[in-house]
A and B are shown apart, each in its own frame.
Chain A
Amino acid sequence: MKNDKLVVHTHHISSHFTNALWPVGFLLLFSYFLTGKESYESASFYMFIFATLATPFTFGSGIIDWKTKYKGRSTRIFNHKRIFGVLFLLLSLVIVVWRFIDPSLATTENALNSLYFALVFINCGFVSYLGYLGGKFI
């Protein structure tokens, strides 16, 4: 397999990883709020960790793909992919690090708990939009 094709495949594989794990993590967190079972909350945190770990591969391979396959042309779709990719990565890091520092963050009822849930929801929006943009290339 040629190197450029390998990079394209890396982007496809890793982006599916991120696009699947984050919304599933969100659904698990939502399940925790509905049922109160802490195992759902723990599972959501692990989903967020793996989604965040996959993101640099998604972003990096996407940049290489854009520079090689699309000659680095600056159009609206590529600009949005870059901007929302950075926003997703930064917010993912904030969420994962915050939850790592404060393990009871989601399970303690206060304003921070709601903020955490809101950030997870916003990031779900970012990753869904990125998936929507990615779908335009298929």
Chain B
Amino acid sequence: MSSLEQRDLENKIEALVIAIPKEKEAHDFYMNLHDEYTDVSSKEMFLFLADQELKHQKRLENLLADLEKKLKELK
């Protein structure tokens, strides 16, 4: 693997490493709002948004695992 390819993979991995905690923070943010509100429609909305962030987080974690595997194989 060329050093350029390796660097490209490392940059992508770094971006995901930084992005994953942001998704978790967004999830926690919506869950806090979900807990604060008492009416059903607000609770549903914040739960939906929290769930979306959780899905993003899992998607990014899967992408990260794939990229790390690829980097390990190519090194």
Report A's interface with B, CB cutoff 8 A.
69-71, 73, 75-77, 136-137
Q: Report chain B residues within 8 Å CB of A75.
A: 10, 13-14, 17
Are B14 and A70 within 8 A (Cβ)? no
> What secondary structure prevails in chain A residues at the interface with B?
loop
User: How many residues in B have their beta carbons less than 8 Å from beta carbons of A?
Assistant: 7
With the chains together, A77 CA to B16 CA distance in Å? 12
With the chains together, A70 CA to B10 CA distance in Å? 15
CB-nearest residue of chain B to A70: B17
With the chains together, A69 CA to B21 CA distance in Å? 7
A-B CB contacts (within 8 Å), total count: 18
With the chains together, A70 CA to B18 CA distance in Å? 7
Report B's interface with A, CB cutoff 8 A.
10-11, 13-14, 17-18, 21
With the chains together, A71 CA to B13 CA distance in Å? 13
Q: Report chain A residues within 8 Å CB of B18.
A: 70, 77, 136-137
16 A-B pairs besides A75-B17, A137-B18 with CB distance below 8 A are: A69-B21, A70-B17, A70-B18, A70-B21, A71-B17, A73-B13, A73-B17, A75-B10, A75-B13, A75-B14, A76-B10, A76-B11, A76-B14, A77-B14, A77-B18, A136-B18
Min CB distance, B24 to chain A, in Å?
8
- Shortest 8 CB-CB distances between A and B: which pairs? A75-B14, A69-B21, A73-B17, A75-B17, A70-B17, A77-B14, A137-B18, A76-B14
Q: Report chain A residues within 8 Å CB of B21.
A: 69-70
Min CB distance, B69 to chain A, in Å?
14
Q: Report chain B residues within 8 Å CB of A76.
A: 10-11, 14
With the chains together, A71 CA to B21 CA distance in Å? 10
Q: Report chain B residues within 8 Å CB of A77.
A: 14, 18
